[in-house]
């Protein structure tokens, strides 16, 4: 019984000093993400979630970690509905398939646009979501075949899927 009391005292003291290994968050402070743009150029990944929030890293996980740090850990990636890969998309597709920060049901597509507008992409993808998901991407890679990602073409300030 004395051990339980000591453990509770330690937890209360650490909690009061904000030294616990976990922390609570206000849901209203979280920034939900709808569209994530992933660019792989050479050995560098750039992740853009719109509103001027983007980060660069040596790996996709590193870029996502830096993105979280820039937003004080308030960025909520599991709400991402679409992941857009810029060309060339092969290496980025492999990294997205291995990344656990995204939900498996998120749609995946690619675009030849080297610097797509996240707001325009988000608006288009809200009404025209990609029919290829991260699970489909993982399955294609596991089977050793090239993933058939839908292509988003820039058209007159907006986007449309290639026929």
Total residues belonging to the chain: 163
Task: Determine the Cα–Cα distance for residues 94 and 48; give it in Å rounded to an integer.
Answer: 18
Of the two residues 79 and 140, the one the predictor is more confident about is: 140
Average pLDDT score, the chain: 85
Domain boundaries, the chain: 25-161
Task: Determine the Cα–Cα distance for residues 98 and 129; give it in Å rounded to an integer.
Answer: 21
pLDDT beyond 90 at 158: no
**Taking a C-beta distance cutoff of 8 angstroms, is the pair 35, 80 a contact?**
yes
Per-residue confidence band for 156, with pLDDT thresholds at 50, 70 and 90? confident
Assess whether the previous peptide bond of 44 is cis (omega < 30° from 0).
Answer: no
């Amino acid at each position: 019984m004395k051990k339980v009391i000591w453990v509770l005292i330690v937890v209360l003291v650490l909690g009061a000093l904000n030294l616990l290994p976990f922390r609570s968050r206000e849901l209203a402070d979280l920034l939900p993400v709808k569209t994530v743009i992933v660019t792989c150029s050479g050995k560098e990944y750039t992740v853009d979630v719109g509103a001027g929030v983007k980060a660069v890293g040596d790996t996709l996980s590193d870029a996502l970690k830096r993105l979280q740090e820039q937003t004080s850990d308030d960025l909520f990636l599991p709400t991402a509905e679409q992941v857009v890969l810029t060309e060339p998309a092969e290496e980025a597709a492999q990294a997205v398939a291995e990344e656990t920060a995204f939900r498996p049901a998120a749609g995946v597509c690619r675009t030849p646009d080297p610097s797509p507008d996240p707001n325009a992409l988000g608006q288009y993808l809200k009404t025209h979501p990609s029919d290829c998901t991260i699970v489909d991407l993982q399955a294609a890679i596991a089977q050793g075949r090239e993933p058939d990602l839908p292509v988003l073409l820039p058209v007159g300030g907006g986007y449309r899927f290639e026929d």
